[in-house]
Structure 1
Amino acid sequence: MSSKVVLVTGTSSGIGLASAVAAARAGWATVATLRDPERAGALREAADRAGVSIDVRQLDVTDPDSVTAALDGVIADYGRLDALINNAGAGHVGTIENETVEDVRRVMEVNFFGVVQTTKAALPHLRASGGRLITVTSVGGVVGQPFNEAYCAAKFAVEGFMESLAPVVGRLGVAVSVVEPGAVATEFVNNIDLDPAQVIAAAGDYAEPLRGYVTRTQGQFAHSAQTPEQVADTVMEALTAERPAFRLQTSDWARAFTGTKLADNDGSAVLAITSAYLG
């Protein structure tokens, strides 16, 4: 096939769905994956509305056999892979005294090790094509936030992993980018799968600060969140720019927020230093 091939994870809704549709509209052969293909209804409807064709396949990022089967299937059917968009993940709200270490491990499994697994499987094919490795992280991968200990830890880990990997695979022709959204419409309550009132009631001594956090965050998501399509525009920038930045924020708010910690917003200064380590 003449079209470049992109695989997107976590496409049942939100950023993954919007990114898959945007890539297909831009002419990419788009393989949209999700853990449960029976949840692909919204994706298929969005593709139909956009007048594009999307190849929907099963991939569970926490299952190594599923990841291997999906990548093998893409190569068997298309003969190449030009880009991977790591989007699959799940939100989580909690604080360590009130949850188990196993809860934290589950968050890391989806949000960090799932990215590691898909990246490892895709890299031989991305090296062959001189492709793109794009990962949707979060402003929470730069700035730790209350009651997001496990989630931010996972996103910090992803950013450290990718920032360390970027100069290495860059020498072999693979461009690496991380995309950092802030609040995205509909995702806060839906993606963390909790009843705020119930969680606050069970929070004990943490109830009042948790109530404050939930009230503030729900307000932010209700009034100033970006749409998934707006975030997908930034994902497409990483996918199609001649020289994509390593770090891309998806809004002025996200740039300002991460900028409180990062003087080097696009990551170029850090990568210049670490690339020099390689001689």
Structure 2
Amino acid sequence: MTNPTATAATSRDPKVVLITGTSSGIGLAAAVAAARAGFTTVATLRDPQRADALREAAEEAGVELDIRRLDVTDAASVAACVAGVVADHGRLDAVVNNAGAGHVGTLENESVDDVRQVMEVNFFGVVQVAKAALPHLRATGGRLVTVTSVGGVIGQPFNEAYCAAKFAVEGYLESLAPVAASVGVTVSVVEPGAVASAFVANVGVDADQAVTEAGPYAPALQAYLARTRATFASAAQTPQGAADTVIEALTAERPAFRLQTSEAARQFVGIKLADLDGSAAQAFTTAWIA
């Protein structure tokens, strides 16, 4: 859609939500669902040339989206996008941090720079967007919603860097939440489990090659990959199912800080949250590679 001329925001204006990582999966479904729920929805993605599926979904749903470029790893891109949204729409009521990238690997077989890059996208990208948005969310008594993962609660084999980033996001936002609440901003994290989307494919792992190059870790990696394939084949929820929880975080009168997107996700994180000494979580994930 064409960006509207900026006007002074009033309480009667539609609320404006900015969502990152909307080219596919949860982000795409959440953008369409937010527009259906009555939000003026700014759907952002790193590469606007990948917006075809997003446009088709919006057209099919009969909703309008304001599609813009935003690279969460580029401070100038983040600042320009947030400033542009406020200039054009007059307000910013909510942000959904959804952009992220999966990563499979283990410490001995990857570089420290590989780990840094995972943190850059999945952790510092969230912090960068949140920092740019917070002054505007303060002005509207808005909401900061971040899609994390069950991997932000339980560390998972061959996901050290990815889980570290998601743990960092959860710790950062759990710490920020009461501070943000003191100035009227609600902070929530949304924790999906397995979701049937392009996210896993975008990890870019050639399973056979990865096992061949894994050295002494090959048997454990092979077991992990087999377990993961089976889980995604039999138990993955739809992106829409996960997006419904994002909308809950945006619209509930008093959303919880932590929301899981499925019963499977609730059971998974419950292992850790009731596991005072860590032994239950360790036994659970060790069985994946035994």
Give the Cα separation in 2 of the matches to 1:217 and 1:60: 29
- Structure 1 vs Structure 2 CA RMSD: 1.0
Say which of 127, 148, 168 aligns to 1:116: 127
- Calculate percent identity across the aligned residue pairs: 72
Matched with 1:146 is 157
CA offset at residue 197 of structure 1?
1.1
CA contact (8 A) 2:25 2:199 kept: no
Give the Cα separation in 1 of the matches to 2:197 and 2:219: 24
Q: Is 1:59–2:70 an aligned residue pair?
A: yes
The Cα offsets for residues 42-84 of structure 1, whole Å up to 9 and x where unpaired, read as 0000000000000000000000000000001001100100000
Q: Is 1:207–2:218 an aligned residue pair?
A: yes
CA offset at residue 186 of structure 1?
3.0
1:76-155 maps to which residues of 2 (within 5 A)?
76-155=87-166
**TM-score, normalised to structure 1's length?**
0.93
Opposite residue 266 of structure 2, the aligned amino acid is R
| SS of alignment partner, residue 220 of structure 2 | helix
**TM-score, normalised to structure 2's length?**
0.90
1:180-195 maps to which residues of 2 (within 5 A)?
180-187=191-198, 189-195=200-206
CA offset at residue 189 of structure 1?
3.3
Q: Is 1:14–2:22 an aligned residue pair?
A: no
Give the Cα separation in 1 of the matches to 2:121 and 2:62: 32
CA offset at residue 196 of structure 1?
1.0
Q: Is 1:37–2:37 an aligned residue pair?
A: no
The Cα offsets for residues 124-152 of structure 1, whole Å up to 9 and x where unpaired, read as 00000000000000000000000000000
| Structure 2: gaps spanning 5 or more residues | 1-8, 276-290
Matched with 1:223 is 234
| SS of alignment partner, residue 56 of structure 1 | strand
Give the Cα separation in 2 of the matches to 1:76 and 1:257: 42
Give the Cα separation in 2 of the matches to 1:188 and 1:46: 18
Structure 1 stretches of at least 4 aligned residues deviating more than 6 Å after TM superposition:
none
| Structure 1: gaps spanning 5 or more residues | 265-279
Aligned pair count reads: 264
Opposite residue 258 of structure 1, the aligned amino acid is V
Q: Is 1:176–2:187 an aligned residue pair?
A: yes
